[in-house]
Amino acid sequence: MDKLLIEGNGPLTGDVRISGAKNAVLPILTATLLGSTASRINNVPHLNDVTTTMSLLGRMGCQLTMGDNMQVEVDPSTINDYAAPYDLVRTMRASILVLGPLVARYGQAEVSLPGGCAIGARPVNLHIEGLRAMGADITIDGGYIRAKAGRLKGANIHLETVTVTGTENLLMAATLARGQTVIENAAREPEVVDLANYLTAMGAKIQGAGTSTLVIDGVDDLYGTDYTVVADRIETGTFLVGAAASRGKICVKDTVPSNMNSVLDKLTEAGADITIGDDWIELDMHGERPQAVNVTTAPYPDFPTDMQAQFCVLNAVASGTSKITETVFENRFMHINELQRMGADINIDGNSVTIKGVERLTAAPVMATDLRASASLILAALVADGETSVSRVYHIDRGYERIEEKFHQLGAEIRRASD
Ligand code: UD1
């Protein structure tokens, strides 16, 4: 298994280009199943979760072609199997995103239940209830969700919790249903908007993307199209926090600043000098130590849970004491134990942590436990004295493209090694 070796060596400086968003490309790739012809998706990041999604589509019988320039063409017309087996769903929970498209277009699906996960129970009850409201017959049997349906029918669905992939599954299903579907308390994340834009380009009729009410008028057919995936706001935020924690100055390119407001507000509060262009963000700490900032995670447009771990690191080396509260997922503090081993002064109390900033952390062997937790360990290593080794790097390869190359470009001493 690979590990990353990182020497804490001064501030991040320079430019870095942001890849396509993991959480947008995954639903978009599964949405290709809704088309009667092939789609070409551009700005696809090289991530393990993308490879898993492509394996899933390939096993179903879709034809996949990789272009030279981060393009993937998916032709769903040869599909002959409607299952997402446990061995793939186990490695990537987002495999559940095939459920809506398969039921809507092919009237059948067999998808393994995702089961427990390192960051809490993460049920999919709302995906299932919504599809049932649209007329799907769904049973849970032997760890599998088995769905059958004729043409789905439009429904009024009120989601009791804001769920990103739940909203996406129901949005995809509704595009081919007979009549109108209204999804209330829908997720407003930019990745939901990107999916809605792709579906609209395929011929779907969707209103309200980016608001909490989606209105979808079902159409008879959708057609493949050419689409470019939005930039990854979590990757953007991760580099910016790395620069802020290490008192650096970086410019993040090919990103969408308007999707970053809650994170940029907190970085400004932490003392960062931020300049924004059309598709770039520059952050300059002027060599100063960051100030501690309080953070509470919540669905978009509030502060993203996927940036919580990174802000724990920022606060761990900031001046002052801060409180970080996690309201989206239970058990999402797995990184805290590892940060404590690196000398961070952090106390966990239920779904909050109190962090007293220290000047520097100390290198230690640490273990990645989930995707964003592992990103935070890399950031911690950048501001630690000595060489940190981060093991179980496969977590980070699920969601960050060429992570060591990009950090290296910003001046970090980081390399990959085998155990
Ligand atoms: C997505 C993102 C993930 C991000 C999360 C929250 C993808 C591929 N993943 O995950 O990176 O951390 O949004 O922004 O886009 N819930 C239920 N019932 C359901 C579904 C969800 O109770 O049927 C609860 C969950 O337990 C959780 C909350 O809703 O407490 C939010 O989860 P959800 O938005 O569904 O997360 P994901 O879509 O899995």
pLDDT tens, residue by residue, 39-66:
999 999 999 999 999 999 999 999 999 9
Q: Average pLDDT of the chain?
A: 95
307: pLDDT strictly greater than 90: yes
Instruction: Ligand 1 pocket test: pick from 92, 98, 132, 165 the residue with the most ligand atoms within 8 Å of its Cβ.
Output: 165
Ligand 1 contact via 408 beta carbon (within 6 Å): no
Mean pLDDT of 134-149: 95
In ligand 1, which atom is closest to the CA atom of 127?
A: 23
Q: How far is CA 118 from its chain centroid?
A: 15
Decide: 229 and 194 in contact? Cβ < 8 Å: yes
pLDDT at 368: 85
Whether 386 has a pLDDT exceeding 80, the answer reads yes
Rounded to two decimals, what is the model's pTM? 0.97
- pLDDT on residue 121: 65
pLDDT digits (tens, 9 = 90+) for 273-298: 999 999 999 999 999 999 999 999 99
Question: Active-site residue among 62, 117, 251, 312?
Answer: 117
- 296 CA from centroid of ligand 1 (Å): 16
> Which of 91, 132, 161 has most ligand 1 atoms within 8 Å of CB, for mutation?
161
Q: Report whether residue 301 contacts ligand 1, using a CB cutoff of 6 Å.
A: no
Q: What is the distance of C-alpha 69 from the center of its chain?
A: 22
Q: What is the pLDDT of residue 361?
A: 97
DSSP 8-state secondary structure symbol assigned to residue 172:
H
Core vs surface per residue 327-355: b (16+ CB within 10 A) or e = bbbebbbbbbebbeebbbebeeeebebeb
Tens-place pLDDT, residues 236-276: 999 999 999 999 999 999 999 999 999 999 999 999 999 99
pLDDT at 113: 87
pLDDT digits (tens, 9 = 90+) for 106-126: 999 999 987 655 666 678 999
- 62 as an active site residue: the answer is no
* pLDDT bracket for residue 90 (50, 70, 90): confident
**123 in ligand 1 pocket by Cβ < 6 Å?**
yes
| Cα of 362 from ligand 1 centre, angstroms | 33
